[in-house]
């Protein structure tokens, strides 16, 4: 029986300061999140020979977990330093690059894309002790073709996209679109596209049994005349399926360890694999376009980014993001053009840009209008920094 390759992808994100706030206001929820993250390496220690997991961790989450004050505060719940150390295990984990403040990249100014990505590479290279990351996780799977040249410039080999937005250029069957890596081209650059199976990912998010998953993979890939790569992507610390602390009642101990045991025993042809290893062995085939969109979130389908743009309040905040971002870029350009010597000027401009980047986090728009005020507060601070920069100039 031919092998079916499985790429498991998990996204981990917390807005800056959120875990600290939860520890103060809702300690049990904070513990659930920390336990869910700490459970990942602990569940896989005994399966280093077969376990293969892709992890995306936002820059703000990494900043929190690596901060000495938070590590002291969380000690006794989770040893965050040890957690980060265990995630360096490249036999089990393939770490994906992402955006530092977790923005929906197609919704923010393109002038800010590279800064989000570069800032993540800075902390990622430091904490994971490597210089290169093969794969890129677009926050919220928010992708557009215009991102390709930026991703290639920063050294990424492949990018994850949702199956609902893949548009084949060369002739492909249903199985080809979902279970074979493809090539996407834009602006004279090309990148490998890895397609998330939305249906199987929905099951992964809500809870599933190994027997069901095995039957579903065999049924879905039975027409493949190539080694199929089935990619499932979900959050890794949200929802009861991942947060449940009871042995045998969460994703790891009720499902994934069972899959690994069957793989190890040789009575299953499902093979967990790193995407980079699959590409080295089997390559990518066929050309596609990827329409702009995100992954599905609850009752939203991801098209038109409606989760983050569904109300006039959300749209107005995004418009203001663009305006303040443009003002900050103009001020930085002008300061560089005249070689302004004032340290205070440059400090204020750097701080203004930091507020803009933080204002762009997806969570400010994800919850309808509940968090939009956080975006405006950061933009107000950015505007204040611009005024102080003008005075210093």
Minimum mean pLDDT among 12-21, 266-275, 314-323, 329-338: which range?
329-338
Q: Which of 290, 318, 344 is the last residue of a domain?
A: 290
Mean pLDDT, residues 101-115: 98
Per DSSP, the three-state class of 141 is helix
Residues 314 and 262 both lie in one domain: no
Asked if residue 82 and residue 129 are part of one domain, the reply reads: yes
On whether the CB atoms of residues 248 and 255 are closer than 8 A, the answer is: no
Q: What's the pLDDT at 298?
A: 77
User: How far apart, in whole angstroms, are the C-alpha atoms of residue 312 and residue 372?
Assistant: 11
Looking at residue 64, its pLDDT comes to 98
Q: What is the pLDDT of residue 36?
A: 98
Judge whether 301 lies within some domain. no
Distance CA 91, CA 88 (A): 9
Q: What is the pLDDT of residue 390?
A: 85
On whether residue 305 sits in a domain, the answer given is no
C-beta of residue 262 within 8 angstroms of C-beta of residue 38: no
359: which DSSP letter? Answer: H
In whole numbers, what is the pLDDT of the chain averaged over residues? 96
The answer, yes or no, to whether residue 319 has pLDDT greater than 90, is yes
Identify the pLDDT of residue 393.
72
- Answer yes or no: do 49 and 184 share one domain: yes
Same domain, 137 and 200: yes
Q: Do residues 141 and 21 both lie within one domain? A: yes
Residues 360 and 274 in one domain: no
Identify whether 137 is part of a domain.
yes
Percentage of the residues of the chain whose pLDDT score is greater than 70 = 99
Note whether residue 298 is domain-resident. no
In a domain, 268, yes or no: yes
User: Nearest Cα to 168, choosing from 285, 246, 59, 251?
Assistant: 285
Residue 265 counted as domain residue: yes
Q: Report percent pLDDT > 90 for the chain.
A: 93
Task: Kindly state whether residues 171 and 43 are assigned to the same domain.
Answer: yes
Q: What is the pLDDT of residue 62?
A: 98
Residue that terminates a domain, selected from 232, 259, 290 = 290
Summarised one tens digit per residue, pLDDT across range 126-148 is 999 999 999 999 999 999 999 99
Answer yes or no: do 34 and 137 share one domain: yes
pLDDT at 101 over 80: yes
* Last residue of one domain, picked from the residues 290, 319, 350: 290
Greatest mean pLDDT range, 296-300, 334-338, 368-372 = 368-372
Residue range 243-301, pLDDT digits in tens:
999 999 999 999 999 999 999 999 999 999 999 999 999 999 999 999 999 999 877 88
**pLDDT of amino acid 44:** 98
Q: Which range (40-49, 232-241, 336-345) has the least confidence?
A: 336-345
Q: What is the residue-wise DSSP string for 187-227?
A: TTEEEEEEEE-HHHHHHHHH---HHHHHHHHHHHHTT-SS-
Residues 35 and 184 in one domain: yes
Question: According to the model, what pLDDT value does residue 336 have?
Answer: 86
Q: Indicate whether 198 and 285 sit together in one domain.
A: yes
Specify the pairing of strand 53-57 against strand 4-12. Answer: parallel
Is 80 exceeded by the pLDDT of residue 340?
A: no
Q: How far is CA 230 from CA 52, 69, 81, 136, in A?
A: 13, 40, 33, 17
Residue 20 lies in a domain: yes
Q: What is the pLDDT of residues 52-70, one digit of tens each?
A: 999 999 999 999 999 999 9
Whole-angstrom distance, CA of residue 227 vs CA of residue 284: 11
Q: Quick one: pLDDT at residue 24?
A: 94
Together in a domain, 284 and 316: no
Q: What is the pLDDT of residue 300?
A: 87
pLDDT at 98: 98
CA distances 306 to 129, 294, 311, 312, Å, are: 37, 9, 9, 11
Does 99 share its domain with 132? yes
Q: What is the pLDDT of residue 391?
A: 86
Q: How many domains is the chain partitioned into structurally?
A: 2
Q: How high is the pLDDT of residue 342? A: 83
CA dihedral 59, 63, 65, 70 (to 10 degrees): -150
Say if CB 270 and CB 217 are below 8 A apart.
yes
* Distance in angstroms (rounded) separating the CA atoms of residues 339 and 342: 9
Question: What's the domain range around 379?
Answer: 310-392
Tell me if 140 sits within 8 A of 294, measured CB to CB. Answer: yes
Residue range 5-38, pLDDT digits in tens: 999 999 999 999 999 999 999 999 999 999 999 9
Bridge partners of residue 303, in order along the sequence: 293
CA dihedral defined by 206, 211, 216, 219, rounded to 10 degrees? 180
Q: What CATH number corresponds to the domain at position 32?
A: 3.20.110.20
Q: Where are the beta strands (DSSP E) in 148-199?
A: 158-162, 166-168, 182-186, 189-196
For 156-185, write each residue's pLDDT tens digit: 999 999 999 999 999 999 999 999 999 999
Q: Is the pLDDT of residue 335 over 90?
A: no
* Tens-digit pLDDT profile for residues 201-223: 999 999 999 999 999 999 999 99
In-domain check, residue 303: no
């Amino acid at each position: 029986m031919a092998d079916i390759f499985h790429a498991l992808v998990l996204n981990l994100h917390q807005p800056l300061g959120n875990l600290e706030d939860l520890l103060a206001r809702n300690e049990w929820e904070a513990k659930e999140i920390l336990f869910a993250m700490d459970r990942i390496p602990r569940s896989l220690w005994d399966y280093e020979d077969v376990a293969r997991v892709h992890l995306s961790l936002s820059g703000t989450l990494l900043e929190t977990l690596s901060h000495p004050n938070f590590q002291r505060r969380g000690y006794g719940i989770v040893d965050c330093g040890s957690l980060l150390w265990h995630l360096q295990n490249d036999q089990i984990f393939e770490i994906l690059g992402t955006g530092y403040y977790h923005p929906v990249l197609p919704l923010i100014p393109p002038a800010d894309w590279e800064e989000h990505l570069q800032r993540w590479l800075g902390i990622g290279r430091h904490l994971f002790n490597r210089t290169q990351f093969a794969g890129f996780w677009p926050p919220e799977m928010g992708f557009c073709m215009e991102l390709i040249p930026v991703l290639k410039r920063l050294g990424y080999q492949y990018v994850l996209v949702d199956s609902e937005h893949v548009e084949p250029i060369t002739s492909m069957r249903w199985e080809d679109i979902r279970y074979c890596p493809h090539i996407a081209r834009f602006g004279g650059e090309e990148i490998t596209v890895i397609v998330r199976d939305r249906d199987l990912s929905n099951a992964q998010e809500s809870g599933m049994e190994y027997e069901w998953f095995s039957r579903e993979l065999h049924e879905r890939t039975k027409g493949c005349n190539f080694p199929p790569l089935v990619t499932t992507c979900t959050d890794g610390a949200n929802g009861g399926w991942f947060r449940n602390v009871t042995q045998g009642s969460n994703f790891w101990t009720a499902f994934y360890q069972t899959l690994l045991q069957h793989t190890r025993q040789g009575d299953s042809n499902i093979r967990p694999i790193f995407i980079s290893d699959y590409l080295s062995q089997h390559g990518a085939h066929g050309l596609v376009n990827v329409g702009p969109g995100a992954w599905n979130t609850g009752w939203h389908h991801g098209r038109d980014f409606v989760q983050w743009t569904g109300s006039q309040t959300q749209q107005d905040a995004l418009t203001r993001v663009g305006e303040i971002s443009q003002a900050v870029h103009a001020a930085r350009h002008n300061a560089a053009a005249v070689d302004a010597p004032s340290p205070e000027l440059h400090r204020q401009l750097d701080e203004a840009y930091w507020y803009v980047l933080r204002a762009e986090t997806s969570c400010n728009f994800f919850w309808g209008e509940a968090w939009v005020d956080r975006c405006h507060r950061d933009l107000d601070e950015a505007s204040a920094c611009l005024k102080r920069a003008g005075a210093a100039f």
